[in-house]
Amino acid sequence: MARVTVRLPRLLSPVADGDRHVIVEADDIDGVVAGLLDRHPGLRAHLFDEAGRLRPHVLCAVDGQPTRLDGPIRPLRDGSRVVFVPSVAGG
């Protein structure tokens, strides 16, 4: 399994025991998400809606490639980085 770093937005760090970086070992992105939510179940309501979709104003990137977590994603490797960030708008 790959050892992956998940980076969380600052606003969600209290839900993850104050951490902004969570190390998860998984074979694929589904495993990363499962591992993240298993460790910090309170994150589920903040990252995903009732339909199980990534919230509309939350962005996810895997090794710099944006994804809605609903399509093919390049294989993970040791050191891969999964980032959740809030979308930015305004001026």
Partner 1 sequence: MVTLAVGTEKGGWLLRSRDRDAWEVSGPLFPGWRVTALGRAPGGTYLAGVASDWFGPAVHRSRDLADWEQVVHGPSFPEGGDRTLNEIWTIQPAGEAVWAGVDEAGLFRSTDDGASWAPVAGFNDRPDRDVWMPGAGGLCAHRVLAAGDRLWVGVSAVGVLRSEDRGVSFRRADGGMPTTVSEADGAPAAGFCVHGLVADPDDPDRIWRQDHLGVFRTADGGDHWERVEAGLPGAFGFPVVRDHATGRLFVVPLHSDQNRVPVDGRFRVYCSDDDGDSWRVAGTGWPDGPTYTIVLRGAMTTDGLDPCGVYAGTTSGAVWGSVDGGEAWRRLPGTFPRILAVAAFPDT
| Cβ neighbour number for residue 39 with a 10 Å cutoff | 15
Q: For residue 4, which of 76, 91, 90 has the smallest C-alpha distance?
A: 76
Q: Where are the alpha helices (DSSP H) in the chain?
A: 29-39, 44-47
Question: In this chain, which of 49, 74, 75, 77 binds partner 1, going by CB under 8 A?
Answer: 49
Task: Kindly state whether residue 9 participates in binding partner 1, applying the rule CB under 8 A.
Answer: yes
The footprint of partner 1 on residues 67-86 (CB under 8 A) is 86
Shortest distance in whole angstroms from residue 56 CB to partner 1: 9
Question: In this chain, which of 2, 5, 15, 31 binds partner 1, going by CB under 8 A?
Answer: 15
